[in-house]
Amino acid sequence: MHRLSKAAPVSTQQRRAALKAGASAIAALALAGHGPLARAAQSGTASASAADSGLPAADAGRQSWQNWSGIQSCKPTAIATPANETELAALLRGAERGVRCVGSGHSFTALVPTESTLVSLDRMSGIVSIDKVAGTVTLQAGTRLALVSRLLDAQGLAMRNLPDIDVQSFAGAIATGTHGTGQNLPALHADVIGMRLMTPDGNIVECNEQSNADLLSAARVSLGALGVLTQVTLRTVPAYNLHRRVFLKPIEAMLEEAPALAERHRNFEFYYLPFTGYAAGIVHDVYEGNDVLTPQPADEAMLSDLKRLRDWLGHFPKLRRWMAQRFIDADQTEEAKNRSWRLLATQRPTRFNETECHVPRSAGIDCVREVIATLEKRDDVYFPLEFRFVKGDDAWLSPFYQRDSCSIAVHTAHGEPYDYLLSEIDLVYRKYEGRPHWGKLHAVGPDRLAALYPRWNDFLAAREKLDPEGKMLNPYLHQLFGVNRG
């Protein structure tokens, strides 16, 4: 097992290894004499490939579905996998109210659960056309992000940015405002310049920046409430290589330097490791060379070690912090070089639940400092906190609507309490006018959403016009939008 300590410095090439290795060093010292460290968290890991299938699980009666983390589930009356628009139109015209679409199941909110029809677009996948002169590509909306990257790379193209996981369907990713990090880089949906939207009555509406432009602004981030996206056209860039560097800093130094790091690097983010006083910074910059420096395979044992440290010393946070500050070697760094999509997105075998809010960039450092202080009032936390930068855009329900933002994400391990995310952490987000990530846990209702999103009522009006019967609404969306179930 790799550890990052003054006693045994190493140089690994895996993203966040500095973060995890530091935890391992602390855990090894704290647990000396207690036997070998666990290689996996027994209740906290799952096969990413199985969990990310996006397909429902078999059940003794009706088929069932659950999300990646296991906190959302349903037994719909029907599960459909249309292969084309004709099949999808017939399905929508014959369905009862409550139709919902499902992708990889990586949303933690109850966007998917329904007792009606569940629709997977997995069979509507792949590239429809490429315009290399314009630098655009048209995709079927069910295409997974990882496949989009590979298909584009084969054509010498790439997406401008990526989130830190890429198992989602493209339609699902933009429906929830999925984003990566970068002060000058917007979320995925900002690069969508056109789409084919099938309305709940089975008709197709074409929208782009010249025709039905308002509908495009509404549908870029729609929570799946306007109908079903069948195709999207997006701007691309020439394929590019990135050079990634990971480094450790005391959290106060990281907070002080974060704005300058975001200004200096194409992509910058950091992860704070609770009760250590340290954060791991991750930067990516465009790299013109062709050599590849490959990171080592992810070592999930590192996160397990951090959990073990919490389990043994959870009631002694000062001891946890003292060990970190004494034994972590903050001079250790690691690097990787590769195609952009191979470095920006990573695998997440360890399951968790998460809340994330987006605050004005000017308030980001103050907000995350208060979130950290709130987290460390609890001695049961150990999962890293994530801090990112995102450029604003004009999608009506974008959390970044006309506002450059900082994103602050707090995680809890699968199977552990997460109610405090919706209480203590949410109170901090509220103080700083935080807009929730639509796919992550939050406690924001329609009145507050109307105050946070200037085009909220415009979106509701567009939804009512396209779906007056509420065919695309499940109980969660009825509540979120403040729409009577009728």
pLDDT > 70? residue 173: yes
String of DSSP letters for 112-131 = S--SSEEEE-TTS-SEEEEE
* Gap between the Cα atoms of 365 and 255, Å rounded: 6
Asked if 62 and 97 sit in the same domain, the reply is: yes
Query: What pLDDT is stored for residue 51 in this prediction?
Result: 40
Whether 70 and 158 map to the same domain: the answer is no
* Domain match, 60 and 77 both: yes
Cβ neighbours for 122, distance < 8 A, ≥ 6 positions apart: 54, 55, 81, 142, 169
Say if residue 29 is in the same domain as residue 114. Answer: no
Share of the chain above pLDDT 90, in %: 74
Q: For 332-387, how does the pLDDT look when each residue is reduced to its tens digit (9 = 90+)?
A: 788 999 999 999 998 888 899 999 999 999 999 999 999 999 999 998 998 999 99
Render pLDDT for 267-317 as a digit per residue (tens, 0 to 9). 999 999 999 899 999 999 999 988 888 866 544 655 666 676 677 777 788
Q: Are residues 249 and 335 in the same domain?
A: yes
Query: How many domains does the chain contain in total?
Result: 3
Percent of the chain with pLDDT strictly greater than 70: 84
Given its phi and psi angles, is residue 194 left (phi above 0), alpha (psi -120 to 50 degrees) or beta? beta
| Position 467 in a domain | no
| Sheet of strand 385-390, all strands in order from the earlier edge strand to the far edge | 333-339, 241-250, 278-287, 267-273, 385-390, 405-413, 352-360, 435-436
Range of the domain at 374: 17-42+242-436
Report the distance separating Cα 154 and Cα 341, nearest Å. 12
From first CA to last CA, the distance across the chain in angstroms is 58
pLDDT of res. 321: 79
Residues 6+ apart with CB under 8 A from 182: 161, 262, 266, 267, 268, 389, 390, 391
Q: Per-residue pLDDT tens for 93-121?
A: 999 999 999 999 999 999 999 999 999 99
pLDDT given for residue 295 in this prediction: 66
If asked whether residues 336 and 418 sit together in one domain, one would say yes
Mean pLDDT across the chain, nearest whole number?
Answer: 87
pLDDT of res. 384: 92
Q: In 3-state terms, what secondary structure has residue 361?
A: helix
pLDDT of residue 322: 78
Residues 351 and 415 in one domain: yes
- 206-224 pLDDT, tens per residue? 999 999 999 999 999 999 9
Sheet holding 228-235, edge to edge: 127-131, 136-140, 228-235, 192-198, 204-208
Q: Is residue 458 part of a domain?
A: no
Residues 272, 418, single domain; the answer is yes
pLDDT of residue 426: 97
The pLDDT tens digits of the residues spanning 409-452 come to 999 999 999 999 999 999 999 999 999 999 999 999 999 999 99
19: pLDDT confidence band, cut at 50, 70 and 90?
very low
Q: Do 413 and 41 touch, CB atoms closer than 8 A? A: yes
Cα–Cα distance, 322 to 325 (Å, whole number):
5
Query: Which one-letter DSSP state was computed for residue 438?
Result: T
pTM exceeding 0.85: yes
What single string gives the DSSP state of each residue in 131-147? ETTTTEEEEETT-BHHH
Check residue 308 and give its pLDDT: 67
Where in 189-240 does DSSP place strands (E)?
192-198, 204-208, 228-235, 237-238
- Of 120, 151, 171, at which residue does a domain stop? 120
